[in-house]
Structure 1
Amino acid sequence: MLDLSEAAIYVGVPAKRFPGTCAVCPIRMPDGRNKYDIKDLDHWIDGLKGGDGESDDDIIGKLG
């Protein structure tokens, strides 16, 4: 489980752009903190390259 800044680093986007770029929803932990599951992030990344018809430039635009 990663916090927002760690998740942003993991997927390669700036932390301030992460919430608007990455479609993965955080999980509210019992202590109230939001955390991102690495498996969910991996699934999202796999979807970007999964042949959904987007060009490399479209994918790079989403990441940067």
Structure 2
Amino acid sequence: MATANLNISVTEKRMMNEAEAASYCGLLAKHFKVCCNVQPLNLGGKVLRYDKRDLDRWIDSEKTGDADNSREAILSRL
């Protein structure tokens, strides 16, 4: 029997359009517009993109009640 190797490389996107960002956050696009306070980056003209890292910070702040849990903030509380 013949064998085959499949080599697939997937590059994760950091910048997303509005529909992709809404999907990433698990929201419908209409709900994303209302509840997400992350500002998209204007990459020229009408090209707006959401940074995955900004979305992650927003989601984390919603989970923790806006507590600043950065390394610097934790150290300053010690």
Structure with higher RCO (Cα < 8 A, 6+ apart): 1
Following the alignment from structure 2 to structure 1, what is the Cα–Cα distance between the partners of residues 65 and 41? 28
Structure-2 residue corresponding to 1:36: 50
User: TM-score, normalised on structure 2?
Assistant: 0.61
User: TM-score, normalised on structure 1?
Assistant: 0.73
- Name the structure where strand makes up a greater proportion of residues: 2
Structure-2 residue corresponding to 1:25: 39
Work out the percentage of aligned pairs sharing the same amino acid. 44
Q: Structure 1 stretches (4+) deviating beyond 6 angstroms?
A: none
Q: CA RMSD in A?
A: 1.3
Task: Give the paired residue count.
Answer: 52
Larger radius of gyration, structure 1 or 2?
A: 2
Consecutive unaligned residues in structure 1, runs of 5 or more: 53-64
